[in-house]
Amino acid sequence: MNSLAALVLLVALSAPWPSFALAAAGAARVDAADSSRAAATGLDLQEVLDRHALAMGYSREAGFDTALHIKAKVSGLGLHGTVESWNEAPLCGWSRLSLGPLSLESGYDGAQAWIMDRNGVVRDAPGNEETGAILESIVNLGAYVLKRPPVPLFVKLAPPDESGRPRLSLQLLGKEPEYLTLDPSTFRLAETSWNNGQMELKTVFEHYREIDGTWIPDRIRMETGDMILSASLELAEFAPTRGKDAYRPPPSRRDGPIFHGGSASGRLAMVGAGGHILLRGTLNRDHEGLFLLDTGAGSSILDSTQLPQLGLSTQGELEATGAAGNAPAALVQIESLALGRMEFPAQSWVSLDLSSVTSLLSDETVTGVLGYDTLNQSIIEIAYDQRWVQFHSRRDFTPPSQAEEIPLRMDANVPTAKVSIEGITAWVHLDTGSDNELDLSAPFVQQHELLKSENRGEMSPAGVRGIGGSSRALRGSLRRFELGSFVFEDLPTNFSTSNEGVMGSTDVAGVLGAGILSRFHLFLDYASSRLWIERAGERARG
Which amino acid belongs to residue 313? S
| 454-471 per-position pLDDT tens digit | 667 667 767 655 554 566
How many other C-beta atoms are found inside a 10 Å radius of the C-beta of residue 177? 18
Domain assignment of residue 6, yes or no? no
Which amino acid belongs to residue 178? E
Query: d(Cα 70, Cα 335) in Å, to the nearest integer?
Result: 34
Cis link prior to 90 (omega < 30° from 0)? yes
- Tell me, yes or no, whether 267 and 174 share the same domain: no
- Tell me, yes or no, whether 200 and 268 share the same domain: no
Q: How far is CA 46 from the centre of its chain?
A: 35
Query: d(Cα 15, Cα 378) in Å, to the nearest integer?
Result: 29
Cis link prior to 159 (omega < 30° from 0)? no
- Tell me, yes or no, whether 65 and 132 share the same domain: yes
Q: What is the largest CA-CA distance in the chain?
A: 75
CA-based Rg of the chain, rounded to a whole angstrom?
24
- Tell me, yes or no, whether 110 and 155 share the same domain: yes
Concatenated DSSP letters for 1-46?
---------HHHH--SS-S------S--B-------B-TTT--BHH
Domain assignment of residue 154, yes or no? yes
For residue 294, what is the enclosing H or E element? none
- Tell me, yes or no, whether 234 and 275 share the same domain: no
Domain assignment of residue 247, yes or no? no
- Tell me, yes or no, whether 211 and 320 share the same domain: no
Domain assignment of residue 459, yes or no? yes
- Tell me, yes or no, whether 464 and 371 share the same domain: yes
Dihedral sign computed on CA atoms, order 96, 97, 102, 104: negative
The CATH number linked to 121 is 2.50.20.10
Among residues 241, 272, 295, the one where a domain terminates is: 241
* Beta pairing class for 122-124 and 113-116: antiparallel
Which candidate, 137, 4, 126, 108, places its Cα nearest to that of 467?
Answer: 4
DSSP assigned state of 241:
-
> Would you state the pLDDT for residue 214?
93
Among residues 195, 217, 241, the one where a domain terminates is: 241
Domain count across the chain: 2
> Would you state the pLDDT for residue 14?
32
Which candidate, 289, 273, 281, places its Cα nearest to that of 384?
Answer: 273
Return all residues near 309 (Cβ < 8 A) that are at least 6 apart. none
Domain assignment of residue 3, yes or no? no
Domain assignment of residue 8, yes or no? no
Domain assignment of residue 354, yes or no? yes
How many other C-beta atoms are found inside a 10 Å radius of the C-beta of residue 411? 22
- Tell me, yes or no, whether 314 and 197 share the same domain: no
Helical ranges in 43-152 per DSSP H: 45-56, 127-140
Which candidate, 276, 441, 268, 270, places its Cα nearest to that of 357?
Answer: 276
- Tell me, yes or no, whether 134 and 71 share the same domain: yes
- Tell me, yes or no, whether 237 and 269 share the same domain: no
> Would you state the pLDDT for residue 226?
73
Among residues 208, 241, 274, the one where a domain terminates is: 241
Domain assignment of residue 532, yes or no? yes
Query: d(Cα 13, Cα 19) in Å, to the nearest integer?
Result: 7
- Tell me, yes or no, whether 258 and 237 share the same domain: no
Query: d(Cα 52, Cα 318) in Å, to the nearest integer?
Result: 35
The CA distances from residue 486 to 416, 455, 525, in Å, are 17, 21, 20
DSSP assigned state of 362:
-
> Would you state the pLDDT for residue 140?
80
Q: What is the dihedral of CA 140, 146, 151, 156, to 10 degrees?
A: 90
Residue ranges, the chain, pLDDT below 50: 1-35, 324, 468, 540-542
pTM assigned to the model? 0.76
Do 321 and 468 contact (CB within 8 A), yes or no? yes
B/e letters for 178-210, b = 16+ CB within 10 Å, e = fewer, are bbbbbbeeebebbbbbbbbbbbebbbbbeebee
Task: Look up the domain containing 478 and give its range.
Answer: 254-542
> Would you state the pLDDT for residue 411?
85
> Would you state the pLDDT for residue 39?
58
- Tell me, yes or no, whether 496 and 474 share the same domain: yes
The CATH number linked to 411 is 2.40.70.10
> Would you state the pLDDT for residue 55?
96
> Would you state the pLDDT for residue 320?
61
Which amino acid belongs to residue 439? D
